[in-house]
Chains A and B, each alone.
Chain A
Amino acid sequence: MLTVSNISCVRGHKPLFAPVSFSLQPGQVLHLEGDNGIGKTSLLRIICGLSHADGGEVLWNGSSLSKQHPEVVEAFRAALCYMGHHQSLKDELTAIENLLFDAQIAGRILSYDKAMDALQKMGLKNRAHLPLRVLSQGQKRRTALARLSLTDAKLWVLDEPFVALDTHSLNSLQVILANHVQQGGMLLYTSHQAVKLLKTNGHLVDIRSVQMVAA
């Protein structure tokens, strides 16, 4: 379980947003909303541990994520999948190489067949062995989605995942996210557009939203 308690962030003397608190249980989805420039990306980076908070704390399964608890941080990182503005894909590597290397760097074991399978689901089977450089922008995005579908991380933190996706990719991403939540995963994301997630039984996934306001 992820608990965010009174996180605040100061940039150039001024607090960026009013302190934010929420908690996220397995199987829950949380949509982080707020005006442009309110600091949604900053908050996500703080939660992941890339930036420091100027107040408050982030807890993972009830324990504080701080330097004093390296074992908690390690457990948190093993359970975390963060997708920021950058895709962290290498143009010189093929789609399949990108997936395999990324999994290894993240400390996961991924078989060639599984990776191929994921690419196939994204309609990239014939593109799997081409360097990403020659793929279209949309195909690159789908490679990133294939990678997301392969992660077994419990907590997904996604920064604007729906931006600039074509209809086909958007549908695929919705399925991937719904599956993740249905399997007891946690999802935290920022988005400018409202997106519905459909479970396999046809019910809508309940999406809570947290509104960030200026301090």
Chain B
Amino acid sequence: MNMFRASFWLHYAGPQAFYGLAGRVWPWCAALAAVLGVWGLWLGFMVAPADAQQGEGYRIIFVHVPASWMSMVIYMAMAFWSVLGLTFNTRLSGMMTRALAPTGAMFAFLSLWTGALWGKPMWGTWWVWDARLTSELILFFLYLGYIALTSAIDDQRRGDRAGALIAIVGAINVPIIYFSVKWWNTLHQGASVSLTKSPTMAQVMLWGMLLMAMCFWLYTIALVLYRVRTTILQRESHTAWVQAIVQEIA
């Protein structure tokens, strides 16, 4: 099979083929995520030295920064699947978007939580109205809005399409929100605290952070594929191939 042919992709966009593919891929991703996580934490906690200014407290970045990245990447992924779903009417995209949302919301929450725990010892306050923190908060709200909307609509197709539209509208807004909060922040000089990290980050710290980021990536992929499999079973429960799977288990 040729990856560059449309038929290859269309084949795996079908629920049955994707169910099989996801079933084969997710355990590998999960295992790799575990390995990278252990490696990253080992580098972060056992190898990386204390930071000159922040002491041991800086070690929060090993989850904070990757979680923030993931929260943004996942929202972009949701928007991507939504565009795909609305233009090509593929059944898979709605399921993918729905499966991504809870994990995205979790990472947004973790980013806020760890940010607050980092802020308290470093700046003496749990929360500052900084552009990045505020945008992250709004992003968290956008996730909640998506989840609330899709779960409030009973009709599955309508839910998928309505969710897709709001995901796209949200994704267009994220940069505008970030820009506006940043502008607002420069106007209110008093509250601003420089969040820029020292430019010379120790090599090993960077590696720890990158490994953790990759761990979160793979964790997300594994979990999302797993969730999509559940959704596929649910939505395709009337089809012969799902019946066959059920029979096998029973």
Residues in B205-240 with C-beta less than 8 Å from chain A: 237-238
Q: Which residue of A lies closest to B235 (CB)?
A: A13
Which residues of chain B have C-beta atoms less than 8 A from A13's C-beta?
A: 237-238
The answer, yes or no, to whether A14 is at the interface (CB within 8 Å) is yes
Q: Which residue of A lies closest to B238 (CB)?
A: A13
Residues in B21-37 with C-beta less than 8 Å from chain A: none
Bound complex: CA A167 to CA B238 (Å): 47
Residues in A5-60 with C-beta less than 8 Å from chain B: 13-14, 52
Interface size class of A (residues with CB under 8 A): under 10
Bound complex: CA A52 to CA B237 (Å): 22
B16 to chain A, nearest CB (A): 15
- For the residues of A in contact with B, the DSSP-based class is loop
Which residues of chain A have C-beta atoms less than 8 A from B238's C-beta?
A: 13-14
Bound complex: CA A14 to CA B237 (Å): 11
B83 to chain A, nearest CB (A): 16
Which residues of chain B have C-beta atoms less than 8 A from A14's C-beta?
A: 238
Bound complex: CA A27 to CA B237 (Å): 45
B45 to chain A, nearest CB (A): 50
Which residues of chain B have C-beta atoms less than 8 A from A52's C-beta?
A: 157
Which residues of chain A have C-beta atoms less than 8 A from B157's C-beta?
A: 52
Q: Which residue of B lies closest to A11 (CB)?
A: B155
A46 to chain B, nearest CB (A): 13
Bound complex: CA A115 to CA B238 (Å): 53
Residues in B155-201 with C-beta less than 8 Å from chain A: 157
Residues in A57-73 with C-beta less than 8 Å from chain B: none
A33 to chain B, nearest CB (A): 27
Residues in A161-195 with C-beta less than 8 Å from chain B: none
Which residues of chain A have C-beta atoms less than 8 A from B237's C-beta?
A: 13
Interface residues of B (CB under 8 A from A): 157, 237-238
A-B contact list, 4 entries, CB within 8 Å: A13-B237, A13-B238, A14-B238, A52-B157
Q: Which 3 residue pairs are nearest across A and B when measured between Cβ atoms? A: A13-B238, A13-B237, A14-B238
